[in-house]
Chains A and B, each alone.
Chain A
Amino acid sequence: MNEAVVQVKSLTHYYGSRLVFEDFNFEIKKGSIFGLLGKNGTGKTTTINILNGFLKQTSGQCLVFGEDSHSLSPQTKARVGFLIEGHIQYSFMNIKQIEKFYSAFYPNWKKEPYWELMSKLQVTENQKISRMSCGQRSQVALGLLLAQDPDLLILDDYSMGLDAGYRRLFVDYLTEYAKAENKTIFITSHIIQDLEELLDDCVVIDYRSVLLTMPIKQFLNEFKQYKCDLVDVTGGIKKDDVIKNVEVVKNKASFYSFAEMKDLENHLFQLDIKHTGLAQIKMSLEDAFIGLTGKY
């Protein structure tokens, strides 16, 4: 039984009178690569801030290595690596100074992975971080995290501002890192396409509600997309328990559902939606995400 590295229990948060989420629950087990997926503004950054102790939730509990996320002991903080959205770093330092700075805080500091990454950037030791490009800065941030060698890595939107090359680089390193030493990773992102190979588990959130919490493989297996032609185009088709989402363009309809094809057939029949040519379409993670949360 893997220990739970992060436990979120009945987490509720309001900004003033606006509800962000209510009774949010999930658990991240050791060694899992966990994704918090959702559109912009659904509460991902809120969750990350609470997890890192920079926002006090309205109610509920958030535990990291068994400690309340607001009062982590220094020893626990050493085990947690944190990437801030936008790869924020002390930009007044150069890459040599920043490595020297951080190394004093972490007893297990391994400078080799950091310098290995830096050598690939082809910059000098005196390269000031403020003068680096977005992509190069992301490498610095990644290098520092690898050198810190934390048991839990929290990455708030690692992909922001990065082009495809750097994004892929990140994912490659993370995967290798996680598998090598059974590390736990928590990622939030709204760019889904890179994450399909990386994630083990995910939770998908929408405005004010949690849509699902399950392993990626299960999500991709059970959530299906179906296409068909509609006979009768009048009358709208509403979302319900079975039909998680539906899109109609002219007379072509796409249905997103956890149901098996025959159960969907029955359901459509009951709703008196006449159709032909119902077939299942294979989806990528991104398709599934859009299917679940909608295009708008």
Chain B
Amino acid sequence: MLKSLMYKEWLKVRWSYIGLVLLNMIVVINICISLFNAFKFYEANQVYDGVLSWGYVFYIDLMYIPLATGILLGVVQFFPEINSSRLKLTLHLPIKEIKSLLTIQWYGLSLLMIIFLADAVVISVMTFAYFPSEVVSSFLILSLPWFLAGLTAYIFIALVSIEPAWSRRIMLAVVGVGFVNLLFSNIISMGVETLFSKSYLYFIVITLILTLIILLSGYNYKKGIR
């Protein structure tokens, strides 16, 4: 039954998902090309100098892409459910509501993680061709919060869509923006260097915990607006 549910989600999002994959690949390939060009037009040691000593982030174009991807997928997946109460159909299916809500959410999160993994792998491979592994690990640590931001934005779009009461929707939106903003702390202070290397595990755990709130939104949906 859960397979069928995932099949329905796939039917809903497949074209948009392909579009998002294309968007990510275009950005990522662009990054690879610009790195290639950097080594073509400049001396290798100059590029190393830029990256190692001056903190030049050659993959900065990636920064908001996961966020946009998460938001768009969330919209495409959840707005149709709420439009004309289609969520009622889903919740009426003979499965435990906890299972159906979590399945739908984790299906979307998995789709996102596939794209993000692809982004990370392509850039890592390209980086590893030109730089030692330390630069690759630095990329992974620096970009992880950007990917988490995409997942978090998706989660909150789902929450805001499902929650029926407007006052709570606004509250959830504010909290969602709050969490996403934290993940871009690299631009809040001190340029791009502010790093999550000491705390990334906590943020992964926080994101995991946030995936549970959908159960409350579903519960409120079933309570209706009074």
B190 at the interface (CB under 8 A from A): no
Of the listed stretches B63-71, B88-96, B101-109, chain A binds: B88-96
A84 at the interface (CB under 8 A from B): yes
CA distance A75 to B11 in the complex (A): 26
Give the residues in chain A near B91, CB-CB below 8 Å.
Answer: 53-54
> A88: which of B4, B86, B96, B221 is its contact (CB, 8 Å)?
B86
Least CB distance from A191 to B in Å reads 21
Contact with A along B205-226 (1 / 0, CB 8 A): 0000000000000000111101
> Do residues A104 and B1 form an inter-chain contact, with CB atoms below 8 A?
yes
B19 at the interface (CB under 8 A from A): no
> Do residues B93 and A105 form an inter-chain contact, with CB atoms below 8 A?
yes
> B94: which of A52, A55, A105 is its contact (CB, 8 Å)?
A105
> Do residues A77 and B11 form an inter-chain contact, with CB atoms below 8 A?
no
Q: Is the interface of B mostly helix, strand, loop or mixed?
A: helix
Contact with B along A13-26 (1 / 0, CB 8 A): 01110000000000
Give the residues in chain A near B224, CB-CB below 8 Å.
Answer: 49, 54-56
> Do residues A101 and B4 form an inter-chain contact, with CB atoms below 8 A?
yes
A60 at the interface (CB under 8 A from B): no
B interface residues, tally (CB under 8 Å): 24
Give the residues in chain B near A15, CB-CB below 8 Å.
Answer: 226
> Do residues A93 and B94 form an inter-chain contact, with CB atoms below 8 A?
no
> Do residues B222 and A54 form an inter-chain contact, with CB atoms below 8 A?
yes
> Do residues B223 and A55 form an inter-chain contact, with CB atoms below 8 A?
yes
* Residue of chain A at shortest CB distance from B95: A74
> B8: which of A55, A56, A86, A101 is its contact (CB, 8 Å)?
A101
Give the residues in chain B near A52, CB-CB below 8 Å.
Answer: 88, 92
Apart from A58-B226, A105-B95, list 14 A-B contacts with CB within 8 A.
A52-B88, A54-B221, A74-B95, A77-B92, A82-B89, A84-B88, A86-B84, A88-B85, A92-B12, A93-B8, A102-B4, A105-B1, A105-B93, A105-B94
30 CB-based A-B contacts, threshold 8 Å: A52-B88, A52-B92, A54-B88, A54-B221, A54-B224, A58-B226, A70-B222, A74-B94, A74-B96, A77-B92, A77-B93, A80-B92, A84-B85, A86-B84, A88-B84, A88-B85, A88-B86, A88-B89, A89-B86, A90-B8, A90-B86, A90-B89, A92-B12, A93-B8, A101-B7, A101-B8, A102-B4, A104-B1, A105-B1, A105-B4
- B-side residues, CB < 8 A to A, are 1, 3-4, 7-8, 11-12, 80, 84-86, 88-89, 91-96, 221-224, 226
